Chain A
Amino acid sequence: MKTILVVDDEEHIRRLYEAELAEEGYSVITAATGREALEKLGESLPDLVIMDIKMPGINGIETIQKMLAKDSTIPVIINTAYSSYKDSFLAWSADEYVVKSSDLTELKEKVRKLIGPAEA
């Protein structure tokens, strides 16, 4: 089963993504901060990371950089309220950039594009 790590400081967003992605058939683990995300990464290696940017403590971009320093093969989707980070070269290290929306269709498409459907 393909595992996705969702990193977001908003609990309700984490629960939404968990529900939606589980419905798609993926296994979902979550982290509320960048630090927690890095700890989870040490325990088990997910197939994909969905990362919020604006978070207290270590922000999403720093977290991605630290994460990729350990293992540069994990695909990352940046998922944020701002479209402006798209232009930031720091965000280039991510594989995809999806602006947060209540309609998760785009996010799910990108996930499928990067790691394929859950059952495959």
Chain B
Amino acid sequence: MSFKTAERPVEIPLMILGPEREILYCSDAMTSVFAAAGANPPPKRCVDAELFDICRGDCPALAVFSAGETRRTSAVAKSRKEEATSYLITASPVKGGAEKTMACLVALRDVGAGERAEHKLDVLKELSEKSTSSVIILREDGHIVYANRAAVDYTGYSLAELVKRGIFFFPPAWAGRLLEAVHQTASGRSVSPFEAEIVTRGGEVRKVEISLSFCEDNAGSATFYVVMNDITSKAELIEKLIKVKEGLEYEVAELKFLAELAEVLIGTARLDEMLSLILVAVTAGQGLGFNRAFLLLLENGGRYLRGRLAVGPSDPEEAGRIWSQLDFRHQSLRQMLESIKVSGFHGDARVNEIAGLLRISMDDEDNILVRALREKKTYNIDDAYKWGESVAALADLLGSGAFVVIPLFTSRDKPLGILLADNMINKRPITDVDVEKMKVFSYYVSYAIERSMLYQELEEQVEKLNEVNEDLKKNKDRLVRAEKLSAIGEMAAEIAHEIKNPLVAIGGFARYVLRRMSPGDKNRSYLEIVVNEVERLERILKNVLDFVKPMRFNFVNTDITLLIRQTVNLMHGELEESDIRVNYHLDESLPRIDVDPDGMIQVFVNVLRNAVQAMPGGGEIDVRSSLQDGIVVIEVEDTGCGIPEGGEEKIFEPFYTSGRGQGLGLGLTICSQILQGHGGRMKIGRSARGGSIARIELPLRRNGGV
């Protein structure tokens, strides 16, 4: 703490002590007193110097700290010179929060001269000349018989003037008070030092502390020895201290409020919820205490200012009800904000209607809200009707002629919106302090809104990232599948080749021997088994090697509808044998597309053959084609036994079979590869009729096909 804020040096001995009697401030005059006592510079704690005879006993500062009241006492100061000086000590408390005494102001007044003069006027005069305090000697009627040099300097009047005009430099009331004290002293009663005011020649009003004592002049008539000590500086200092104290208290309250709000808002990321909290904080008694608050945010890329939310009662009746409820609950601001958060506060209907009407173009440069934002200036409108038509119109809409408009900016100085508050219900004028509080609060509001907006942005981006991630995962799955296929393929090719040659030799010689066997040979049928089994193995190998074979497509602009019909015709025998009927539902207007006809036939054959195998007892196959969003969709639906449970995912895996047909389980894998080469794909699912449905998708325009 530093109290060295007085602009003028304090001319009276003055110090401020802390609770341990540590010296917080020491005026130059006080330093001189310490120096005279041999303590130069002054000690840290005043008691250490033992400046006065009372220091170890009846210390007025200690009494001030314990009692909290001003104490006066007289004491004799130690001095290295022969003469000890007597002082009147005034110790006053400096109070902080909760009336607690924070410090003690100690002022000294030199009264030594008067008391040792033994009432001898001449001696008094002589001594007084040296005194730095202003001394005048009065008669009972107020005539001045003497004034020392200090008094002449202090009042600005010459000795002659003072002697001629008396105590005219006291304003009448204070002159009366002085004469009263004179009479009191004259009648033998003692008078405590008192404060008064004088007006100097320069017209300056000064505060003085007056002490007076009775003395006789040489002629034996009654005179009064009056000492005036300037306490203007002291009074100013105290006033300043009080202001500092008030400022500190205000700042503490402000910090507490912001800390409470911060704590609640930090737990709030959603913009709407946060805006509600902010407005409640503006209107709550525990917060900024306005009646109503409106929040406007910039929209449409900053082109419009729009009322987003408002809080407050719509009329005094409602206000009374709400406020009494709030008082009754006795919640702290924090509790209130928390409960609002929990209850999902949506603002008050009526004021929000008003807020909804607030939509201002940022081009409307006359508008007070636009101006506040453009000029970055707070407007405290005390009487809207003096501010011109535009402001008056806003006042009409709000139903309030006085309001404060505070612009909100992001930390990077980008305009955000406007916070508007008024006291529409109780009509309490909006003070500068209110505006200052609101301004401080607005920084916080801006930060919270900005943070929330960033959070929202972040959430959106996280969502986008998630989507991208999902895509990546799908692509990764595809890649893994392709890699798996290729690894299996390589291995299969290797094995197939190693097996193929011995197999050809085994089968070839078996046939050779079989041909030369007599028809009646009993080993003939065994050899036939060898031949047939080798043939079966060779078929399997052929499939594997076909699968391994890198696919090359020969794309031809093809009528896909015709190709479907041709494929079905190719399988005519197989279908008839299994007693299966094919129903066409083909879109005859399908555009021609670029496909590898052989590859597509292989796909159709595979799909149809699967259908045939699924219906050993006969059935129906529906073949449909259509154009959906630029994709040619061909569906083949059967009335068979469907995909076995859990088979949907494995169906495209190499070597997966349902166990029904004689296939190797590579058919759909190959189909899938062919379709991928066309930029298309294939899905197999259960049909509504219990059978399976194969859906083939081919893009109208092929990109990236091989």
Residues of A within 8 A of B (CB): 10, 12-13, 15-16, 19-20, 23, 54, 81-84, 87, 99-104
Contacts and interface: CB of A to CB of B under 8 A. Distances in A.
Interface in B347-364: none
Nearest to B548: A84
B5 to A, nearest CB: 98
B346 to A, nearest CB: 72
Contact of B497 (A13, A81, A99, A101): A81
Most chain A CB atoms below 10 A, which of B507, B508, B531, B549:
B508
B546 A102 contact: no
B504 A13 contact: yes
A87 B551 CA distance: 11
Nearest to A8: B501
B550 A16 contact: no
B506 A84 contact: no
B506 A102 contact: yes
B505 A16 contact: yes
Contact of A102 (B507, B545, B552): B507
Interface of B: 496-497, 500-512, 531, 534-535, 538, 542, 545-546, 548-550, 552
A104 B511 contact: yes
Contacts of B535: 102-103
Contacts of A20: 508, 512
Nearest to B501: A10
Contact of A13 (B505, B512, B538): B505
A102 B510 contact: yes
Most chain A CB atoms below 10 A, which of B503, B504, B507, B545:
B504
Nearest to A99: B542
Contacts of B506: 102
30 contacts: A12-B505, A13-B501, A13-B505, A13-B508, A15-B505, A16-B508, A16-B509, A16-B512, A20-B508, A20-B512, A81-B497, A81-B501, A81-B504, A82-B545, A83-B542, A83-B546, A84-B549, A84-B550, A87-B552, A100-B504, A101-B507, A101-B538, A102-B503, A102-B505, A102-B510, A102-B531, A102-B535, A103-B507, A103-B535, A104-B511
B549 A83 contact: yes
Most chain A CB atoms below 10 A, which of B496, B531, B538, B546:
B538
B496 A81 contact: yes
Nearest to A17: B508
A101 B546 CA distance: 15
Nearest to B508: A16
Most chain B CB atoms below 10 A, which of A16, A20, A102:
A102
A102 B500 CA distance: 9
B538 A10 contact: no
B529 to A, nearest CB: 13
Contact of B502 (A12, A23, A103): A12
Contact of B511 (A13, A82, A100, A103): A103
